[in-house]
Structure 1
Amino acid sequence: MKSIFDESTYKEVEERFKKLSRDSEGLWGKMSVGQMLWHCQIFVKDAIKNKKHTKRGNPIISWFFKKSMYSDKLWRKNLPTTPFAKAKEEKEFEVEHKKLLELIKELYSLRDRKDWNAHPFFGDFTPEQWGKLEYKHLDHHLRQFGV
């Protein structure tokens, strides 16, 4: 599994996002390209902030799905997302595109950070697992928009 903390993978992701335009259409799902860019920011920001979370997800569900968050197996199309990460209105492509590229760059700059707090739903992740998870989520949405 690729990791956003690997230089060549980071550059690949950056170039793939640069191929998007305001006219890019999803191959599945309901999000517009602007909404997808906004959605991806939420999870990249969460990794960057690295804050401690007092609430955790359901431990049984978390245990069952945790490995799929960073394994080589692709996520299926049309997976549901958590309500707080659903854009309720349209998002401006240029604004969200610029913000996301800046956040991905910032996340990549943290590749040598040793102390990572637990994921708010899935619990403890190693730095390697965080890098794979972030790549996998971004890749999922890039594939959703055909890039």
Structure 2
Amino acid sequence: MQSLLTQAGHQEIKQRLSKLSADSKRQWGKMTVGQMCWHCQLPLRIALENKPNSSKGNWFVKTFFKNSMYNDKPWRKNLPTAPQLKAKEEKDFDAEYLKLQNLIDEFHNIKDREKWHPHPIFGSFTKEQWGQLEYKHIDHHLRQFGI
């Protein structure tokens, strides 16, 4: 399974990301390409901030969705998005794209971090699971835009 913490996974995502443009059209869903770039930053920020949390998350989400994070099967189209992760207004593609590129690099560069706090929704992850989750989330949205 690919990971954003490996050199190969990081390079692949960066190469695919370089194919995005302000004119990229979605294949499914409602987000524009600018909104998608903004949206993909949020899970990376959660991992990078590495803050302890007391959230117990949603049992259903943890049980059923968490298992889908650790296999090579792509996520299905039109998965629901948590309300706090939805872009409510248009986002500038160029600005959000640059921020996303930088966060992807920043996340990859913490590959040697040993202490990872639990995810606020999904709970405890190993370093490998964090890398897989971040890769799979960005992969899902790049496929959303045909990349």
Structure 1 length as normaliser, TM-score? Answer: 0.96
1:1-147 matches, cutoff 5 A: 1-147=1-147
SS in 2 for 1:116: coil
CA shift, 1:58, in A, is 2.0
Separation (CA, whole Å) in 1 of partners of 2:114 and 2:104: 18
How much does 1:123 deviate? 0.8
* Alignment RMSD: 1.0
State percent identity of aligned pairs: 55
Q: CA deviation at 1:60?
A: 4.3
Residue 129 of structure 1: how far off its partner (Å) = 0.6
Kindly provide the amino acid, as one letter, of the partner of residue 82 in structure 1: A
**Structure 1 position 45, deviation (Å):** 0.6
Q: Which amino acid aligns with 1:107?
A: F
Task: Give the aligned residue type for 2:102.
Answer: E
Structure 1 Cα separation of the partners of residues 89 and 70 of structure 2:
30
Q: Which runs of 5+ in 1 are unaligned?
A: none
Cα offsets for 1:97-146 (capped at 9, x unmatched): 00000000000000111111111111111100110000000000001011
Question: Aligned equivalents of 1:24 and 1:5: distance in 2?
Answer: 26
User: SS of the counterpart of 2:71?
Assistant: coil
Amino acid at match of 1:110: I
Task: Kindly provide the amino acid, as one letter, of the partner of residue 100 in structure 1.
Answer: L
Aligned pair count reads 147
Distance 1:95 1:61 in 2: 32
Q: 1:61 to 1:8 in 2, by over 3 A?
A: closer
Distance 1:41 1:61, change over 3 A: closer
Cα offset for 1:53? 1.2
